[in-house]
């Protein structure tokens, strides 16, 4: 299995190198050179497997010769052993033909755990074989950071620095990052938005001397291994609902486009996912694109669903590359225009291809609270604000459909207790393992939106934790 860049200039490479590189040298994102397509019989043979075994069999197709099936099985078994639900990602029915896919049973109560618990182990496996170490730098709008830190804390070959936008995450999200005091972990509260954090991370990866000096690696969904790991839970849900003989659809609350891209990738592998609903909050660039081909970045506005407070959806580039017929030069040109002008002139033909499969939906804060209340009243289900965007889209757009709809429940309601209490009068409690979270000491550094200052802190942290020569 080989991987190519969406911008067409980086040399193709194998799974191990893509895992450690994260972002391609030309600024693009990696995708498989060709998609591993399963036959109907092969999909049918995967039904009923435990989650870890299904993950091993699907992910081995992306690892190729870089890893044996037994090696992958050992990693997936270890990664998912600690999840609080035996199904790892269970389905809960909330309405006729509507099923919530609960992705928050990992250690930090968010969907990011499903991929990142495995990613940390993949890093360890590859780095141990190579006798190397890396510095992970990531940006988070709330959940990726805590999941990445939990997956990488105390690992011998990894130092990790996470940037989050100051005062723009929930308190639970922030504390899950900043109360981890492991020496290989550092947190930066950036004076800016998530898009500013993400832009700094991308810029550090494009700074070739700095990238080489620090041996940078990525845990954001720019890292292909994260997308690959997320494919598994859509396959797990679809197979449990009758695939491959039965078509399904998905609704995903999304900001950076990685979660819904994983569902689309499952379709590329032959899984019968017929349609994709993208849920947005007031930061609705993806919904505007699908409605009117308006890919124009606006100022990020804080909301009740902070993990979706994004105007630059990095993983959209992967879909754009496919919509453009895998034309790397054309994709690179559109991305340059977007960075320079804040607007992306997507050709009508590509836009129309997207509209055949994707539908956008937008929900403001008032609507989010109303949906949390409605869902609890009608189905007895307590949802966090992000999940509520997905269930509202399902209620509005899919209530009369006979095809099963899988709705991604991306975070535990206890991560956003204030919003849930406002909507329902119920304050969800944290699981026992996190019951003392508000009493734990925090450690983080507030920095301006300045590349030099951020790089200086990354360098100091990595050198402090470097293994002596």
pLDDT of the residue at 466: 58
- 414 in any annotated domain: yes
Contact 375, 98 (CB under 8 A): no
Confirm whether 129 is a catalytic residue: no
Specify the number of domains making up the chain.
1
Contact 35, 224 (CB under 8 A): no
| Cα 204–Cα 207–Cα 211 angle in degrees, nearest 5 | 75
Question: What mean pLDDT do residues 29-49 have?
Answer: 98
pLDDT of the residue at 218: 86
Query: Which residue range(s) make up the domain with 290?
Result: 91-107+224-424
- 157 in any annotated domain: no
pLDDT range class, residue 469, cuts 50, 70, 90: very low
pLDDT, one tens digit per residue, over 82-127 is 999 999 999 999 999 999 999 999 999 999 999 999 999 999 999 9
pTM of the model: 0.92
Residue 338 belongs to domain with CATH number: 3.40.50.1100
- 33 in any annotated domain: no
- 64 in any annotated domain: no
pLDDT, one tens digit per residue, over 336-395 is 999 999 999 999 999 999 999 999 999 999 999 999 999 999 999 999 999 999 999 999
pLDDT, one tens digit per residue, over 185-235 is 999 999 999 899 999 999 999 899 999 999 999 888 889 999 999 999 999
The residue from 112, 191, 212, 352 that is catalytic is 112
- Give the separation between CA 404 and CA 242, rounded to whole angstroms: 9
- 229 in any annotated domain: yes
pLDDT, one tens digit per residue, over 240-257 is 999 999 999 999 999 889
pLDDT at 293 over 60: yes
pLDDT, one tens digit per residue, over 301-318 is 999 998 898 888 989 999
- 257 in any annotated domain: yes
């Amino acid at each position: 299995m080989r991987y190519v860049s969406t911008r067409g200039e980086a040399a193709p490479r194998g799974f191990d190198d893509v895992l450690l590189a994260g972002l391609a040298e030309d600024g693009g994102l990696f995708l498989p050179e060709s998609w591993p397509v399963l036959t109907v019989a092969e999909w049918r043979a995967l039904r009923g497997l435990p989650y870890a075994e299904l993950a091993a069999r699907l992910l081995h197709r992306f690892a190729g010769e870089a890893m044996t099936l037994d090696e992958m099985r050992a990693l997936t078994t270890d990664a998912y052993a600690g999840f609080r639900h035996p199904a790892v990602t269970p389905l809960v029915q909330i309405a006729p033909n509507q099923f919530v896919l609960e992705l928050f049973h990992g250690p930090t109560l968010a969907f990011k755990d499903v991929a990142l618990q495995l990613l940390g182990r993949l890093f360890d496996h590859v780095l141990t074989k190579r006798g190397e170490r890396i510095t992970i730098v990531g940006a988070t709008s709330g959940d990726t950071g805590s999941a990445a830190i939990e997956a990488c804390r105390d690992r011998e070959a990894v130092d990790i620095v996470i940037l989050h936008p100051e005062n723009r995450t929930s308190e639970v999200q922030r504390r899950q990052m900043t109360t981890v005091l492991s020496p290989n972990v550092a947190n930066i509260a950036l004076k800016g938005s998530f898009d500013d954090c993400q832009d700094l991370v991308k810029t550090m990866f494009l700074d070739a001397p700095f990238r080489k000096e620090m041996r940078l690696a990525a845990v954001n969904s720019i890292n292909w291994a994260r997308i690959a790991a997320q494919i598994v839970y859509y396959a797990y849900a679809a197979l449990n609902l009758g695939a491959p003989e039965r078509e399904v659809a998905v609704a995903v609350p999304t900001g950076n486009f990685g979660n819904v891209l994983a569902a689309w990738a499952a379709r590329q592998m032959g899984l019968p996912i017929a349609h994709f609903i993208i849920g947005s909050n007031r930061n609705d660039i993806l919904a505007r694109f699908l409605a009117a081909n308006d890919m124009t970045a606006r100022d990020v506005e804080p909301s009740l669903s902070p993990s979706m407070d994004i105007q630059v959806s990095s993983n959209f580039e992967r879909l754009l590359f496919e919509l453009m017929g895998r034309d790397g030069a054309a994709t690179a040109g559109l991305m340059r225009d977007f960075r320079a002008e804040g607007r992306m002139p997507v050709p009508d033909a590509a836009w129309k291809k997207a509209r055949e499969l994707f539908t956008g939906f937008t929900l403001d804060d008032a609507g989010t609270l109303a949906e949390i209340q409605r869902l609890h009243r009608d189905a007895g289900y307590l949802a966090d604000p992000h999940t509520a965007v997905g269930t509202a889209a399902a209620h509005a757009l899919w209530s009369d459909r006979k095809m099963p709809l899988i709705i991604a429940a991306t975070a535990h309601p206890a991560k956003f207790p204030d919003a849930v209490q406002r909507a329902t009068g119920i304050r969800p409690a944290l699981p026992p393992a996190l019951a003392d979270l508000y009493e734990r000491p925090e450690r983080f550094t507030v920095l301006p939106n300045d590349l030099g200052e951020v790089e200086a802190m990354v360098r100091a942290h990595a050198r402090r934790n470097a293994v002596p020569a």
